[in-house]
């Protein structure tokens, strides 16, 4: 993989391996809960439309459920499904005692208002952690269901064994599903947090002083390797497909590896952790509903 003489020093933060270990633990717990309570934890997965990448993610979520001893209820809706119909389905699932978790795969088609949809999900079943109730819980230091990608990034950071108190963290990107909840997660553990976004000036100067970088801008190769402070931890949330079909992130991986202390690969870093935390959240929601 990396064959240069001036070879990289960074250790790989292996999300695939951590995800496999965690999924094994989740399966053991789900099996115990199923024997005790007479049913498996249940996750309803809703997808609207034909976006090919979204269908791959949903398929992987359903496979993840099956392997972890979680029952998945699949709802594949056509691209012209009305918002009203989708809201009706969510109400049914909110009231279904066999369903512990509900997720609506994003993005939804343009004629559907995703905010209205996400707010219709019972916060106790919101295993994506996107409902304002769950975001508010995290913001007020009483996390309930936490959003999966930032939660997965925190598990990856824990793997380094580094104390996060007072660390200079720079999050690149301020989206609702990654950047913003990531800032709240890092604040919760006592880190110093900067969030940069499309209006921020001089990204390089922020990156250069960061001890921890969370790259979630959605721009291929935005973060240059030479900007990375020696020894920094780099967590790359970006996923982009190159013309040759291979995947890459928001960070120049090869160059960044020469400076970073730890770095996540793409693929095999944050992605597998996102689905793992969804499974963990479903088990957590089951325990809240049924008991442990
Ligand atoms: N309702 C939600 N919608 C979306 C979420 C989400 O958490 N909830 N996140 C993303 C998509 N996503 C999960 O839904 C997701 C993206 C990527 C991966 C992943 O495992 N990536 C692999 C590479 C996969 C590939 O070959 O394409 C990796 O990085 O190793 C998992 C989940 C937007 N929508
Ligand atoms: Mg360069």
pLDDT tens digits for range 85-141:
999 999 999 999 999 999 999 999 999 999 999 999 999 999 999 999 999 999 999
Contacts of 265 (CB under 8 A, 6+ apart): 12, 13, 14, 15, 236, 253
Q: Is residue 193 assigned to a domain? A: yes
Which CATH number characterizes residue 221's domain?
Answer: 3.40.50.720
Range of the domain at 195: 147-271
Ligand 1 pocket: which residues have CB below 6 Å?
A: 56-57, 103-106, 128, 148-149, 239, 247, 266-268, 271-272, 274-275
Residues 109 and 163 in one domain: no
In a domain, 63, yes or no: yes
The yes-or-no answer on residue 155 being catalytic is: no
- SS3 category, 12: strand
Same domain, residue pair 160 and 232 = yes
Do 105 and 160 belong to one domain? no
112 and 226 in one domain? no
The encoded tokens of residue 30 equal: 């789900």
Total domains in the fold of the chain: 2
Q: Is residue 13 part of a domain?
A: no
Residue 113 lies in a domain: yes
61 is catalytic: yes
C-alpha dist (Å) from residue 178 to 10, 24, 73, 152: 24, 25, 26, 11
Cβ atoms within 10 Å of 88's Cβ, excluding its own:
12
102 part of a folded domain = yes
Please indicate, yes or no, whether residues 227 and 262 belong to a single structural domain of this protein: yes
CA-closest residue to ligand 1 atom 17? 271
Which CATH number characterizes residue 56's domain?
A: 3.40.50.10860
Q: What is the pLDDT of residues 71-86, one digit of tens each?
A: 999 999 999 999 999 9
- Assigned domain for 291 exists: no
Complex ipTM > 0.95: yes
Amino acid 2: pLDDT = 45
86 occurs within a structural domain:
yes
């Amino acid at each position: 993989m990396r064959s240069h003489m001036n070879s990289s020093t960074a250790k790989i933060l292996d999300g695939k391996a951590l995800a496999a270990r965690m999924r094994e633990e989740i399966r053991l717990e789900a099996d115990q809960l199923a024997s005790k309570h007479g049913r498996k934890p249940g996750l309803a997965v809703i997808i609207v439309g034909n976006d090919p990448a979204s269908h791959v993610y949903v398929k992987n979520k359903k496979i993840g459920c099956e392997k972890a001893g979680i029952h998945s209820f699949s709802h594949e809706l056509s691209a012209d499904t009305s918002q009203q119909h989708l809201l009706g389905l969510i109400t049914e699932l909110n009231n279904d005692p066999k369903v512990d978790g509900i997720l609506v795969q994003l993005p939804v088609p343009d004629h559907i208002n995703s905010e209205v949809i996400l707010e219709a999900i019972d916060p106790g079943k919101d295993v994506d952690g996107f409902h304002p109730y769950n975001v508010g819980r995290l913001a007020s230091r009483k996390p309930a269901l936490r959003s999966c990608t930032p939660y997965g990034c925190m598990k990856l950071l824990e793997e380094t064994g580094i104390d996060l108190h007072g660390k200079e963290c720079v999050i690149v990107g301020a989206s609702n599903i990654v950047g913003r909840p990531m800032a709240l997660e890092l604040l919760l553990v006592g880190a110093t947090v900067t969030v940069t976004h499309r209006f921020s000036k001089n990204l390089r100067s922020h990156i250069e002083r960061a001890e921890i970088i969370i790259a979630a801008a959605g721009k291929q190769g935005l973060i240059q390797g030479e900007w990375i402070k020696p020894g920094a931890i780099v967590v790359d949330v970006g996923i982009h497909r190159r013309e040759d079909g291979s995947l890459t992130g928001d960070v120049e991986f090869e160059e960044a590896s020469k400076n970073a202390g730890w770095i996540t690969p793409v693929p095999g870093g944050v992605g597998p952790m996102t689905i793992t935390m969804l499974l963990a959240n479903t088990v957590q929601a089951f325990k809240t509903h049924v008991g442990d």
